């Protein structure tokens, strides 16, 4: 099976702009989660989507939003970018029943805000 893919891999934006990141999960995986990774805070959970519905949400401001499409592909959007939003954004997919919490990650999108 093909792994999780994310596009774009690298992005440079200016403060105040908005950005949309895309994620295609492993075929058959219906749960998609997004994480922000920074050297200072580590991996932090943003939100999880399942069957086009946001099922869980982390402690991030409303500028961070996401959605999931009927084919399980997901996008996340960050509006009014701030310098502190510079990070590696990781998408992870999971099988339908995932009580063990296992995550299969994509390569990430490196966002730099200047």
Site residues for another protein per CB under 8 A: 4, 33, 35, 42-45, 48, 56, 90, 92, 98-108, 110
- In whole angstroms, give the CA distance from residue 86 to residue 83: 6
Strand, helix or coil at 83?
helix
Q: How far is the CB of 23 from another protein (least distance, A)?
A: 11
Q: How far is the CB of 82 from another protein (least distance, A)?
A: 22
Nearer to another protein, 31 or 72 (CB): 31
Q: Are 22 and 6 in contact (CB under 8 A)?
A: yes
Please count the CA atoms within 13 angstroms of the CA of 40 that sit on its side-chain side: 4
Nearer to another protein, 35 or 64 (CB): 35
């Amino acid at each position: 099976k093909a792994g999780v893919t994310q596009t774009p891999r690298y992005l440079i934006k200016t403060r105040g702009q908005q950005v949309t990141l895309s994620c295609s999960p492993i075929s058959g995986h219906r749960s998609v989660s997004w994480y922000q990774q920074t050297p200072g805070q580590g991996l932090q959970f943003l939100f999880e989507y399942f069957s086009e519905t946001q099922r869980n949400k982390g402690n991030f401001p409303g500028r961070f939003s996401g959605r999931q499409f009927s084919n399980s592909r997901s996008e996340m959007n960050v509006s009014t970018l701030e310098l502190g939003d510079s990070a590696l954004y990781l998408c992870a997919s999971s099988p339908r029943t995932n009580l063990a919490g296992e995550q299969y990650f994509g390569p990430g999108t490196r966002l730099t805000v200047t």
